[in-house]
Amino acid sequence: MGALPDADFYGDQGSNTLGHVILKKNPYLPNLFELGLGKILALEKVNGGKRPQGAYGKMAELSPGKDTTTGHWELAGLTVSKPFPLYPRGFPREIITEFERLIGRKTLGNIPFSGTEIIKKLGEEHLKTGFPIVYTSADSVFQVAAHEEIVPLEVLYRWCAEARRRILVGKHAVARIIARPFRGKPGSFYRTEGRKDFSLPPPSVTLLDLVKQNSYEVWVAGKVKDIFAGKGVTRHLPAADNRSTMDAVITALESNFQGLFWANFIDFDMLYGHRNDVDGYARALEDFDLFLGKALKLLRKGDMLAITADHGCDPTFKGTDHTREYVPLLIYSEKIVPCDLGIRESFADLSATALDVLGCKGRLHGQSFAKNLFKGIIQ
């Protein structure tokens, strides 16, 4: 939703993921605009004059960085004081040497690279040698790519789990170690759905933990479980892309459970933001908006929906990295009064609000805006 005041420190001054996509491609997003998206975009081309049906605003990230784990943790009420380690020149020799000793073979790569491009570049050599491909990105990640016919999934997972436990600790404790299996032949390699993240567990209590401790259920879809290392989760619905995440959301909405459901629509970041695919991003927004219309009809009277993000990833911006931006905040429920929530100082305001709405005991970082939603009455 536009660069944060400190975005220049990250090289992201001028970024605006949604604003730039909408200005360039003008996707048809009636449901998002109905909830108040037009009010917070503040763009001349966008007509936000119609009274929104939801509460709307935007949130700043209080924690340093712009990675997936930091963003998700802050959304769950846990801020961090220092960023996770990054490796813009690849991992130090001692890390690679220890990893090679662990797996009993050499490695390829050890460079920051696009995941789809690096298997094009090194996939054939990997087939010949059996050496896995190690790479990183602008995120704090140690990624290991291997062909499923060369390195079976269970072996790749074991390598990553052991690296998490024995190597990437202390000052080298990256936020995530990611197993990246692929298939295909030279010229037509493709990543499979066997991706698995081995994340650092949150160092203290999060929204998920407190909701569970208050005898509610906590359902998650897609990579959310991995980001929290499973802590606080009572049910995981597998989802590898936007389409399967939509299916998971529908499953949750049609189920009789009380508590929190959290889904991550990964394609916006993985397929379009990181690949500078503005057309694809716009189409994905339209697909999401169409789905949102169906989801809104399935909400029960007591349900509350929140739409937000964990970071920016502007497909029109220089490079292919995440961008340090405000994130949108859209809230809908039949019980709330549509209102302007303004600019929140932290993503954690959303988790503090969720605790109030659910009536959960416990405290997290962030300032609840529940009274704004209910005009002084917390339901």
**Domain ranges, ordered by start, for the chain:** 7-83+202-374, 93-199
Amino acid in the structure at residue 352 = A
Backbone angles phi, psi at 159, to 5 degrees: -55, -45
* DSSP helix/strand/coil, 204: coil
Write down the pLDDT at residue 157.
98
What are 130's two structure tokens?
């059996």
Write down the pLDDT at residue 137.
87
Averaged pLDDT, groups of 10, the chain, 379 residues long: 96 96 96 94 59 94 94 97 92 98 98 93 98 92 97 98 96 96 97 92 96 98 93 96 97 94 96 95 98 97 96 93 96 95 97 96 95 70
Helix boundaries (H) for the chain: 17-25, 30-35, 37-41, 68-75, 93-103, 115-129, 153-166, 207-213, 224-227, 242-253, 267, 278-298, 348-358, 370-374
Backbone angles phi, psi at 175, to 5 degrees: -65, -40
Q: Compute CA distances 378 → 76, 162, 174, 297, 361, whole Å.
A: 20, 46, 39, 24, 14
Task: Report the CATH fold assignment for 7-83+202-374.
Answer: Alkaline Phosphatase, subunit A (3.40.720)
d(CA 132, CA 146): 5
93-199 belongs to which homologous superfamily?
A: Phosphopentomutase (3.30.70.1250)
* DSSP helix/strand/coil, 91: coil
User: What's the pLDDT tens digit per position in 91-134?
Assistant: 999 999 999 999 999 999 999 998 999 999 999 999 999 999 99
Write down the pLDDT at residue 44.
44
* DSSP helix/strand/coil, 180: strand
Closest by Cα among 209, 320, 294 to 259: 209
